[in-house]
Every structure is written in C-alpha cells, then in structure tokens.
Amino acid sequence: MASHIAAVGLRKSYWKGPNEVPVLRGVDLEAERGEMVAVVGASGSGKSTLLHILGLLDAPDAGTVLVDSQRIDNRPERHRDSMRNHLFGFIFQFYHLLPELTALENVMMPSLIRHGAWSYWKERRRIRHEAAELMQRVGLGHRLDHCPTELSGGEMQRTAIARALAGRPSILLADEPTGNLDAASGQGVLDLLRDLNRERELTMMLVTHDPHIAQQADRVVRLAEGRIEEWVPALL
C-alpha cells in the first residue's frame, strides 16, 4: 500500500572550514499516496540532499519528515534501519550493484539483509523465485546469471529498480535514475517507473535535471536557493 510522505521546514547546512554553506533553507514538500513527484533544479541545489533526508540516509539540522502523518526522522537508529529496508526503495544514478554477484543475486540482497542468514536459508527458494519474477517484470528474465559488467547501462539500472522493489516498499526514491543513460535507455527506464507507479500504486519522488523526464511525472517542483518553488519551465 502506498504511503504519503512530507517534508516540513527541512534545513541542512554543510561546513567548508569555518564557513557554513546552507543547502536546504526550510523545505516544505509532500507526495500523496501513489503520486509521482519530480524535483528539478540546478546542479548543487540540494536535490540529492533532500532525497537522502527523506529516505533517512541523512539527518536534517531542523525540520521533520512525516510518513502517513507520523514523524520518522527522530526514530531510534534500529527503527530507521528497518524503515530503510521495508518502507523505502532507493534507485541511484550510479546503480551501486555488487560486481561480484549476478544480477539475480543483487536483486536478492535486500531480502538477505532483511531476513539474516538463518532465516534467509530457510526462505531462499521463495526469495529467489520472487527476485526472478522482478527481473522478468523489468524485462531482464534472460539476464539473471549475468554479472553487472556484462550488462548495459540501461540493464544495470533496470536491475537496480528490481532490487529496489525487492523489499516491497511503499515509497520509491530515485536520484537521477536516467542520468547515466542515453536518451532511448533513459526513456525506457522512465516508462518502466511510470508503469510500476500505476501497477503498484507506489509513491515516487524523482530527482532529475532533465525537463523532458520531469514533465512525465504527475507533478513537478523546483528546488532553488534551498527552497521549493512551483515549476517554471523557463527557469530550468
């Protein structure tokens, strides 16, 4: 079941020596259940920082992250670890596939982390079957035993999408998922995400610098000077 996610008053700064560099200056943003929201903005505008805070990969200096009206950013570390594995699915620009594993084994990794070695051993056939089904769904049923070095960029990103879905998340966070792909492969990945958004009613937050990709979301917002603005195409 999809979840509603919201950022309220998020602030985040980094330090370069004695100098504070503000990145987020009170960001308010939300995605409704089953909505695909694209966040656009110039390089260095804080888009990735925002996504990392929403997914509990980083902590804000101030502000809150809410899922279904419940605050999650202040939970104990073990609870945040569990939410990163169960609630969220993550897709990154650089895939982050483990090169020593096959594509299928990469997709199975979240289940291994979730279950632990003993429980995973008992459930391994089911987990392998579900991972193979996900690979089939993203169009790679014929590439299960190939390592990442044997896959194209588009195939690696599709494998990463299957891995993100392995935990059955209700919120998918995608950071420049087409950034390393040519136009045709990028559009194919976006079409797949759009189909999954509709089929599974996944809430999606998508960071992109590509206005053509952004326009295909349900709603587009722009991050500028650390704040969220309504999308104005001429400003991209």
Q: What secondary structure, in 3-state letters, does 172-227 show?
A: EEEECCCCCCCHHHHHHHHHHHHHHHHHHCCEEEEECCCHHHHCCCCEEEEEECCE
Question: Mind listing the pLDDT tens digit for each residue in 176-223?
Answer: 988 888 888 889 989 999 998 988 889 999 999 888 889 999 999 999
Smallest CA-to-CA distance from 107 within 172, 152, 157, 176 is with: 157
The SS3 assignment for 25 reads strand
67 vs 4, 10, 73, 170, 176, CA distance in Å?
6, 15, 10, 10, 23
Instruction: Quote the CA–CA distance of 74 and 90 in Å, as a whole number.
Output: 20
Question: Torsion angle of alpha carbons 190, 141, 115, 93, nearest 10°?
Answer: -30
Regarding predicted confidence, which is higher, 122 or 155? 155
Q: What are 224's strand-pairing partners?
A: 227
Whose structure tokens read 């409704």? 32
pTM: 0.88
∠ CA 102-204-148, rounded to 5°: 15
Whose structure tokens read 């020593």? 100
The alpha helices in 27-102, defined as continuous H runs, are: 47-54, 77-86
List of domains in the chain: 5-87+169-235 (3.40.50.300), 93-152 (no CATH)
Residue 233 has pLDDT above 60, yes or no: no
Q: How confident is the model at residue 117 (pLDDT cuts 50, 70, 90)?
A: low
Question: Mind listing the pLDDT tens digit for each residue in 69-115?
Answer: 999 999 999 899 888 888 999 998 888 999 999 999 999 988 877 76
Q: How confident is the model at residue 168 (pLDDT cuts 50, 70, 90)?
A: confident
